[in-house]
Amino acid sequence: MKIISFILSILITLFSYGQSLKDTGSRISKEDAQKFLVHHNQVRAEVGVPGLNWSIELSAYAQEWADYLAKNNGCKMEHRKKPNLKGEPLGENLFWGSSSTYYHPLDASTSWYEEKKIYKYGKFGQGNWHAIGHYTQMVWKNTKEVGVGVAICKNGELMVVASYYPAGNYLLQFPY
């Protein structure tokens, strides 16, 4: 089983690198977007779900919210009330870093992955979902696309917003 998981992880990593990002759709660099996508897809491979595709449209949507949080919200994290694009609900993960020279977009992905340590496999919403919701959105089996926006706040803090389609984290459903 470990060998199969390892091989799947390698294939997903190769697929992620194979997806050439000509334009990210936001202010995240191509290199940071690639690292972010590869990490997400490695995490997804660990639980046997297909990798995500990068979405320019989702990235532009995430960038809009990252800019809003950085400029109008004092760089405080706040989820959109009902994130959606073209009437379709989206998943959303947020990350704040105290310094944009120290923190990078990949730190957002690795931070959300850390929630795996406290996640006990089960239906979403049973237990402390606030503490594991970023991780479960990362690995949600029906999610196919991700896009990321980044903004630097006035004081140099970093804001990262990830948008996912289709949304995950549906109550009483298994993530994978």
pLDDT exceeds cutoff 50 at 13: no
pLDDT exceeds cutoff 60 at 11: no
10: three-class secondary structure by DSSP? helix
CA 25-28-34 angle, to 5 degrees, is 90
- Alpha helices per DSSP H over the chain: 2-18, 30-46, 56-72, 105-113, 129-139
Across the range 33-49, mean pLDDT stands at 98
**Strand-by-strand arrangement of the 91-97 sheet:** 53-54, 145-152, 158-165, 91-97
pLDDT of residue 19: 58
pLDDT of residue 128: 73
pLDDT exceeds cutoff 70 at 144: yes
